[in-house]
Chain A
Amino acid sequence: MISTVGTALVLGGLLAAAFGAVVGIEGGLRHRPGALRIVLGAVTAFLVCMLGANLTMVYALVTHDFSVHYVAQVGSRATPLVYTVVSLWSALEGSILFWGAILSVYVFAFARAHRDHPPTNPLLALGTMLAVGVFFSFLIAGPANPFGRVTPVPPDGPGPNPLLQNHVLMVIHPPMLYLGYVGMVVPFGIAVAALLRGQLGDAWMAVLRRWTLIPWMFLSVGIVLGSWWAYAVLGWGGYWAWDPVENASFLPWLTATAFLHSAMVQERRHTLKLWTLSLSLGSFLLTILGTFMTRSGVFNSVHSFTQSEIGPTFLVFLGIVLVVSIVLIAVRGPLLVPEGSLGSIASRETAILLNNLLFAALTFTVLLGTVFPLVREAFSGVRISVGAPYFNRMAVPLGVAILFLMGVGPSLPWGRASPDTLRRQFVIPAAAGVAVALICLLAGLRGGLTLLTFGLGAFVAVVTFREMALPVRVRMREQQEPLARAVWRTATRARRRFGGYVVHLGVVLVFVAIAASQSYVVHTTATLTPGKKFQLGPYTAQLVGLRNGVDPHRRWIAAEVDVTDGAGRHRLLAPRMNFYERSTDPIGSPAIRSAAFEDFYLTLLAFDVNTPSASFNAWIFPMVSWIWWSLPLFVLGGLFAAWPERRRARADSTDRVPVPGDARSPGAAA
């Protein structure tokens, strides 16, 4: 019964998407405004079908209907309710179904938001997005159908992957990542519409930029949460391993970030149009590539590549999107004539252009390292992987250069900077950077690249705060406003600028945290019997004893360890090993003693209940938690920049904060 309902809904979604795609693209190409109403209907039908199919699956999961293939695969009567609902996206078929739901919500939201826009562009964009919807509903209806029927009906299922039930982060991290991934469909549709029409006006560009910002924000949050999860749950003592799955989420983030910057040049100078659009197309292509890599199992072995049913389908879709993108760029690209030119060498345009080149280089190197093993394996059959040192050696210099540009770009005016401006803009931040690096050196910290990162971090932070504070000061002086009001006014008058700088501060945090935690990490292993101690840095850890316990869906053994820090403060840590009833392998849970400047990280490696004794892995990670503290900044900055501006704000934008001399305060109009 549920199988039939689910499959019917998916097929309904497939029909609605196919119909809407054809009507939308045809209506857009022939400039038939009347088609918009029909397409809006198709979008709504697609939404209803996709949400319905997902709710049907959730219902099947919650009621433990093991006659449904997917439920028999991931369901279990012993799993707590939250994880049962979450198991909607804990395995392959369910996650593709969930993809479909998010896609339909995005398309619907886009359609609602731009109903009143001149209809040609929205028609083309919606048509393109629905065409992507056709692919995904085909995938759900065919190769990755979660609604298949199982006979005989099993009495119980294995439950979701234990790793995914081990931490609450697994409840939020995947949806965030999916929201980021799937959301890239929208800018793709917008960019394709611009290319099909052969023109990119300011209004459509603003639409493209906002709809890139939203998935970009989710993607940022998803990536940071993912690394947090890896750190807090997996217990291997790290947060980023340049694993293909991680790279898959990082690649579209890189191109989308590059886009958000080049879009500023596009809006300001009306040039780099084709490049900007290519970045949008590229971001979508990389999300599809990423989904292919993470969802088809190619990275486990060659065999799953040929056996996996969705792998080839995805590859075909990837090929189609790639060909369409290249053809559009080649045929329609020349129609996008630049209407302006770039400024001089010392200008913000140049800084952004360099930033884009660095992002492109970073994307290229990460992509190369990620797909190289696949290509090599496909041709020679040799199983290899590219080690983390490759990625570190390539990405660190590029990253440091990008950090440097984050301070340079906002300091430079659009157009041309006079030597005088340059001096005035750079002396104080550069001095601050040098001072911080020197202080760190005197404090006994070593490592050229690490100190450079700290110095550049200070440089960028000073520049960013200055650019945020300058218009506030002008407002306070000229409009006689109190501080809080002046801050709010400047922030809301230039939302994207303000949001962008908030995000920059978050990125500085991440850079500094990565540099510190990678350079100054300390590690040891030890095997203890009760009462025995080991020392790591200022910390002393003493084994108290082993304890076991039972939860509804698992049993666990914890080693209780009394950890004393340098100041003599005690804290009981209990790293555990969890045994899920239906899984033969134990899953560890690290215990972390987190402080503002360092984490003491303890994992239980092995234990012996008879002796008793326990073996530990212990690390000190300096400043690692600063990475997670960047999260609120990413969210705040992203929301602030993407928030729709009210009409009123546009009307009084003529009384923009007067800033003496455009060259002096270059950021004011960004």
Chain B
Amino acid sequence: MTSVTRNRLIAVGALLVAGAALTFVAFGNIGKNLVFYWTPGEMLAQGSKAYGPTIRLGGIVQPGSLKWDAAHTHLSFRVADSDKPAAPSVLVKSMETPPQMFRERIGVVVEGNFDRSQTFTSSRLMVNHSNEYRPPKPGDGPDKWKTTVSAPTAEAR
């Protein structure tokens, strides 16, 4: 074996080791940082697997479930799969000020963790507006913004 071939073999070997190490570390890290997208029904079906990982829970704010605490700092509400009363739902607690659009029956995505007490602690509350632009439905006149301005605030508070 000439010294050139030997050096080359050492280099290739070192690269393979480095590559394997990187892959190992990367996959380990990915496993710890996965974010799951679940609806309340899907999350409850996971059982104890749902305790721990970061979850983006998507659903609808259940009518009549919106509550503020006395100091108006803690918000709690239930997120449900749909607006049918029997739909599976989860209690969500949030310390964040909700965005303007937040109100009952609106689609929301809350990011946070679920625990054994069956409470979802939210660290981020987003109103679920579609990323893609959708054309207005017939009847959505230009005055519609006025109702979105005045109505939700009163309900959310």
Contacts and interface: CB of A to CB of B under 8 A. Distances in A.
Interface in A55-86: 73
A579 B143 CA distance: 10
Contacts of B72: 527
Contacts of B32: 389-390
A518 to B, nearest CB: 17
Contacts of B56: 385
Nearest to B150: A609
B2 interface: no
B142 A583 contact: no
A582 B22 contact: no
Interface residues of A, number: 48
Interface residues of B, number: 44
Contacts of A582: 135-136, 140, 142
A527 B26 contact: no
A384 B37 contact: yes
A382 B33 contact: no
A577 B149 CA distance: 10
A394 B148 contact: no
Interface stretch (B82-90, B94-102, B113-121): B94-102
A385 B37 contact: yes
B29 A393 contact: yes
A581 to B, nearest CB: 4
Given A300-B131, A361-B22, A527-B97, A608 B154 contact: yes
A300 B132 contact: yes
A158 B136 contact: yes
B133 A161 contact: yes
A387 B35 CA distance: 6
Contact of A557 (B15, B142, B149): B149
A383 B37 contact: yes
B99 to A, nearest CB: 6
A42 B25 CA distance: 50
A617 B126 CA distance: 14
B69 to A, nearest CB: 14
B16 interface: no
Contact of B100 (A73, A297, A525, A577): A577
Contact of B33 (A161, A390, A586, A606): A390
A606 B98 contact: yes
Contacts of A617: 97
Contacts of B140: 582, 584
28 contacts: A368-B27, A369-B26, A383-B37, A384-B35, A385-B34, A385-B56, A394-B29, A525-B97, A582-B136, A583-B133, A584-B136, A584-B144, A584-B145, A584-B148, A585-B101, A585-B127, A585-B129, A586-B100, A586-B145, A586-B148, A605-B97, A608-B153, A609-B149, A609-B150, A609-B153, A610-B150, A610-B153, A617-B97
Interface of A: 73, 91, 157-158, 160-162, 297, 300, 357, 361, 364-365, 368-369, 372, 382-390, 393-394, 525, 527, 555, 557, 577, 579, 581-586, 604-610, 615, 617
Nearest 9 pairs between A and B by C-beta?
A390-B33, A579-B145, A383-B37, A387-B33, A585-B129, A581-B142, A615-B97, A608-B153, A161-B133
